[in-house]
């Protein structure tokens, strides 16, 4: 007897039932939806894994990043990803080449620093600057008996300057940037000032232990140290640190059993066993043991980016930063976590935990240093305290020093 042909609907139903039977019997296995979902890293194209991969060895994280991403891919990311804001160059004075050499009126300039100043004493030196200019920067009136400029910081310049007198220079790197109204040249942290001086220079770090650990604590994620307990800063720090495992070493919110406990935790950070340690001696070394360093400015204002941030960068940790709204114009691409960009502390804490458990995503925060992608950071360093003597001497030379009209 001839069989009747099966219609299309019957075949479809039979195939569907076959697939269902195979699936429930275990012959077919579909990928889990949750296993394939990744959450994006802020300011980066690299995804954070949802499956934790804890690590303590920074070298291991670097090797994983090299194999999965690498410097070539990092450098080839869209330029707008690494741009530090539309006004990046406007936040920093440009110091390069032979620009302005024809404006110099003197071949040698001497600057005498007056009164107490926080500027390190070893800044005193005779400098060979660009455009063939030599610059003597000193606190000694013997070495600069006829200075071309007098530099004041904690004292006010003379009310009047007569013809033939040195130029009056006043420096204020505090957030307020208050001119005295008596200076001929003003130094501060903003690009609009006569001479800019950022906090990124190495001269802020003299006499410190620079041991940098490749071991990162995976149980205690965040380092914080503050001994100036401002109410607003304490409140902000408490709201974030309550969500993250941390060590607080300063007077504010201390949770390590007292001051100067860092050396008990990390004896390799001791600078000189014969000398009573100061809190700044082991700052960088202690920071280096943590994946993150919380950096909160005393005052949040444009371009006021202080050593609190740069210490963390120099220690090989990732700063969690609260402060200047244009901070990204001063730092390397993808080098910090800007806390102001998050909707809540809970969102920020969750992001930090995810990065801490993803060696590749964490290593990407160090890629700028390993791959030489500096962005505006090169300009930030060029306009720092390290180069201030030559840049101030140039400004004095352009005015003519003592020969400038009063």
Distance of CA 355 to CAs 221, 287, 318, 327, Å? Answer: 10, 18, 10, 21
Q: Is the pLDDT reported for residue 343 higher than 80?
A: yes
pTM of the predicted structure, to 2 decimals: 0.84
Considering only CA atoms, which of 248, 224, 216, 246 is closest in space to residue 358? Answer: 216
What CATH architecture does domain 58-81+204-381 belong to?
3-Layer(aba) Sandwich (3.40)
Mean per-residue pLDDT of the chain:
86
Question: Which has more pLDDT, 96 or 303?
Answer: 303
Q: pLDDT of 374-384, one tens digit each?
A: 999 999 999 99
Q: pLDDT of 42-86, one tens digit each?
A: 444 444 556 889 999 999 999 999 999 999 999 987 666 655 444
d(C-alpha 123, C-alpha 160), whole Å: 28
- What are the sequence ranges of the domains in the chain? 58-81+204-381, 101-197+385-403
What residues does 112 pair with on adjacent strands?
138, 150
Q: Tell me if residue 231 falls in helix, strand or coil.
A: helix
The residue to which tokens 């909707």 are assigned: 343
Q: Is the pLDDT reported for residue 182 higher than 90?
A: yes
* Mean pLDDT of the region 246-257: 94
pLDDT at 35: 30
Q: pLDDT of 48-59, one tens digit each?
A: 556 889 999 999
* Mean pLDDT of the region 187-197: 96
Distance of CA 396 to the CA centre of its chain: 31
Tokens of 367: 């890629």
Q: How does residue 15 score in pLDDT terms, banded at 50, 70 and 90?
A: low
Q: Is the pLDDT reported for residue 3 higher than 50?
A: no
Element (H, E) at 353: helix 345-356
Give the Cβ contact number of residue 256 at 10 Å.
Answer: 17
d(C-alpha 294, C-alpha 342), whole Å: 15
Contact in structure between 114 and 155 (CB atoms under 8 Å): yes
E strands, 84-166, in order:
108-113, 125-128, 134-138, 149-152
pLDDT at 205: 63
Dihedral-angle region of residue 400 (phi above 0 means left; psi in -120 to 50 means alpha; beta otherwise) = left
């Amino acid at each position: 007897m001839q069989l009747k042909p099966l219609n299309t609907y019957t075949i479809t139903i039979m195939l569907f039932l076959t697939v269902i039977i195979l699936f429930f019997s275990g012959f077919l296995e579909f990928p889990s939806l949750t296993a394939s979902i990744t959450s994006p890293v802020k300011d980066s194209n690299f995804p954070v894994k949802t499956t934790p991969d804890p690590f303590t060895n920074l070298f291991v994280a670097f090797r994983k990043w090299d194999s999965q991403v690498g410097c070539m891919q990092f450098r080839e990311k869209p330029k707008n990803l690494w741009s530090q804001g539309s006004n990046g160059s406007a936040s920093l004075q440009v110091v390069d080449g032979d620009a302005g050499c024809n404006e110099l009126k003197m071949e040698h300039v001497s600057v005498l620093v007056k009164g107490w100043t926080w500027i390190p004493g070893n800044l005193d030196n005779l400098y060979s600057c660009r455009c063939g200019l030599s610059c003597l920067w000193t606190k000694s009136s013997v070495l600069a008996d006829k200075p071309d400029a007098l530099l004041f910081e904690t004292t006010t310049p003379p009310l009047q300057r007569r013809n033939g007198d040195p130029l009056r220079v006043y420096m204020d790197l505090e957030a307020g940037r208050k001119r005295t109204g008596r200076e001929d040249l003003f130094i501060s942290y903003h690009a609009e000032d006569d001479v800019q001086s950022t906090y990124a220079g190495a001269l802020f770090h003299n006499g410190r232990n620079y041991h940098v650990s490749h071991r990162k604590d995976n149980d205690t994620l965040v380092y914080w140290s503050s001994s100036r307990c401002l109410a607003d800063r304490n409140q902000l720090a408490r709201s974030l640190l309550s969500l993250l495992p941390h060590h607080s070493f300063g007077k504010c919110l201390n949770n390590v059993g007292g001051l100067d406990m860092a050396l008990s935790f990390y004896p390799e950070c001791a600078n000189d066993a014969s000398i009573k340690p100061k809190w700044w001696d082991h700052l960088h070394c202690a920071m280096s043991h943590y994946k993150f360093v919380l950096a909160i400015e005393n005052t949040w204002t444009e371009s006021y980016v202080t050593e609190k941030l740069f210490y963390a960068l120099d220690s090989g940790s990732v700063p969690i930063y609260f402060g200047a709204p244009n901070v990204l114009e001063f730092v390397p691409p993808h080098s910090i976590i800007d806390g102001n960009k998050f909707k809540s502390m809970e969102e920020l804490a969750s992001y930090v935990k995810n990065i801490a458990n993803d060696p590749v995503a964490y290593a990407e925060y160090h890629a700028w240093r390993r791959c030489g992608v500096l962005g505006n950071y090169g300009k930030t360093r060029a306009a720092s305290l390290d180069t201030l003597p030559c840049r101030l001497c140039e400004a004095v030379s352009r005015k003519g020093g003592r020969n400038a009209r009063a």
